A and B are shown apart, each in its own frame.
Chain A
Amino acid sequence: MVIYFVRRLAILAVSLFAASILVFTMLALLPGDQAQAMLGVNATPEALEALREQFGTNRPFTERYLDWAGGLIRGDFGISPLSGVSVGSEIADKLGVTVPLILAGMTLALLIAVPLGILAAVKSRTAIGTALSALSQVGIAVPSFWLGILLITVFAVKLQWLPAGGFTGWDDVGGAVQALLMPALVLGVAQGAILMRYVRSAVVEVMQEDFIQTARAKGLSRSQALTRHALRNAAIPVITVLGLQLATLLIGTVVIENVFGLPGLGRMLLQDVGNRDLLKVQGTVMVLTAAVLLINFVVDVVYHAVDPRLRSKA
């Protein structure tokens, strides 16, 4: 297990390195540069060259990469030439909104999906099971923005319990929690409905396995066989889906962020792409890539903790 952990960690490091090259190259190859974007089509070649000199974008590719990558290692993402802000602190700021939102949303999703998914599986041949499956279908079908607007109408406009949108920062913890409550609920319902389907089908499938019959033949009741034998086995496919959901949500929350006016990562990325703020885009994409790699790393390690078959292959 320890050997596996170290090996997987090494793979993570190599992947991050490869990703940094890829991200940097892709953005360097994009047609049009920042100087052109700022000065417009009528700019003189001299003015363009001067601006490029100022931004350092006329230096050789390798030199620019090493400069940027070296900064990353020190935690320095550079200063955006366009807006003059520190890219690193901008990203950290937005992550301070997006990460708590995702964590709260996914916690809620798990709280919805696991019990209801198991119940839907156990009662799969009854009206309750059918109703739960239908409910999850509805949850998936309802668009997030619509649910968001509905919640705003009820809880912010009519009842005035919660703010309709915006985020004032973590200095006011109470206010921050209030601001994230509805967006997290919307996220939790949408993702929970998806996850619930996976929980249900995983449990239904595992309950048909031979070893459940062995467990029942020992004298375990259905619910004992479920809790002692089925759930851990059913967790394996669910962990996969959970990892994928987390990775997608990092920028997938952009719709919810827009509805609730939250200054999140996805929203910033959209704006930066529009403004051609390439250094910020580059930093943000790198952070997202690193997060996805990190999530996959955690998922793999959890797999190994759960499934002994993987441990002996390593």
Chain B
Amino acid sequence: MSGVSGLVVEDLVVKVHDIQAVKGVSFEIGRGRRMGLIGESGCGKSLTALALMGLLPHGVTASGRVLLNGRNLLDLSDKEMCAVRGNDIAMVFQEPMTALNPLMRVGNQVAESLRLHKGMSRAAASARAVELLERVQLPEPDRTARKYPHQLSGGQRQRVVLAIALACDPAVLVADEPTTALDVTVQAEMLRLMDTLVREEGASLLLITHDLPVVASICEELLVMYGGSIVEHGDVATVFDSPRHPYTAGLRASTVLESTDGSGRLSTIPGRVPSLGSFPTGCVYRNRCPRADDVCGTVPLLTAPPGSNQRAACHHPIESDQPLGSGKASA
């Protein structure tokens, strides 16, 4: 982690009613750095994102610390948080088809943010909104600004959502599965655009996805989440090439084409993600892990071997010269 800290998350716990869905997550994204957060559905990725934004649904609470510009966002009132959201920390959502108000011209939806935080006049905000639509490379930004969401394609809508998020030059951009709902051809463009803009703005990026190659293409660091805990953290290249946690290895094996299971199919991680509250005690992954034994009944700490910054929460981490724990058994 280099440079001034952008966003620091310390011991973030998110409870759904009384069940811990995010179990004390800590990480730090340096200013201008790009962090990937990866994991299967239900591992707590989206709740983490919503907790950072202070937008958790009713009945879901967050504790711990989320530090941005020296303030703990979790301590702020909703009114104070309104001044932060969209201004210092912004978010891009998964579903471009439903993320925009169907009854409002997209230009106005972008301008709204500017009028709110920058106190711009209607005319100035509208003009700036057109510039922003141009920055996200929408064709004919002038005309597009006057269109309604249903007149745009999914990819175009997601660009509008990105323009809204970047309108006030936020220090942190949280993108929750921003490309999942898009066509594969549009995905790459969208990622490239997001990468470019985040670099230009010097913003920190938290990119949440279940898609390892997506993270690999634009992030520097990678957090792997499973069962509400961070199970591995390190540089993207290192984690991707030689994962230490068996779960990361399994994830990688199920996305990389060379690691087929012998029958020509992609390998899968055995079992399924348990439902909230039914994860095993101790290591959350031990009921699906090929390396699990009695020691795994205690919670493993997120530690790195000497001379490395690749941390893994595993009692039996994979060493770089060993074969991967799962998936390659029959290869």
Give A contacts to B, CB under 8 Å.
Answer: 125, 209-211, 213-222, 228-229, 232-233, 306-309, 312
Contact in complex: A219, B117 (CB < 8 Å): yes
Contact in complex: B87, A215 (CB < 8 Å): no
Within 8 Å CB of A210, what residues of B?
93, 95, 98-99
Contact in complex: A213, B93 (CB < 8 Å): yes
Residue on B with the closest CB to A124? B58
Residue pairs across A and B with Cβ atoms less than 8 A apart, 21 shown, are A210-B98, A211-B99, A214-B109, A214-B164, A217-B86, A218-B86, A218-B164, A219-B82, A219-B84, A219-B113, A221-B78, A221-B79, A229-B101, A233-B102, A306-B103, A308-B103, A309-B102, A309-B148, A309-B150, A312-B148, A312-B150
Contact in complex: B55, A216 (CB < 8 Å): yes
What 1/0 flags go to B112-129 for Cβ under 8 Å of A? 110011000000000000
Contact in complex: A214, B85 (CB < 8 Å): no
B257 at the interface (CB under 8 A from A): no
Interface size class of B (residues with CB under 8 A): 20 to 34
A307–B104 CA distance with the chains assembled, in angstroms: 9
A307–B83 CA distance with the chains assembled, in angstroms: 31
Given A221-B78, A221-B79, A309-B150, CB of A213 within 8 Å of CB of B85: no
Within 8 Å CB of B164, what residues of A?
214, 218
Give the contacting residue for A233; candidates B82, B103, B112, B161; CB below 8 A: B103
Contact in complex: A308, B82 (CB < 8 Å): no
Within 8 Å CB of B98, what residues of A?
209-211
Within 8 Å CB of B113, what residues of A?
218-219
Given A308-B148, A309-B150, CB of A218 within 8 Å of CB of B85: yes
A228–B165 CA distance with the chains assembled, in angstroms: 18
Tell me, rounded to whole Å, the shortest Cβ–Cβ distance linking B193 to chain A: 18
B100 at the interface (CB under 8 A from A): yes
A73–B102 CA distance with the chains assembled, in angstroms: 42
A218–B91 CA distance with the chains assembled, in angstroms: 8
Within 8 Å CB of B165, what residues of A?
217
Contact in complex: A217, B53 (CB < 8 Å): yes
Tell me, rounded to whole Å, the shortest Cβ–Cβ distance linking B116 to chain A: 5
B296 at the interface (CB under 8 A from A): no
A200–B17 CA distance with the chains assembled, in angstroms: 25
Within 8 Å CB of A232, what residues of B?
103
Residue on B with the closest CB to A221? B82
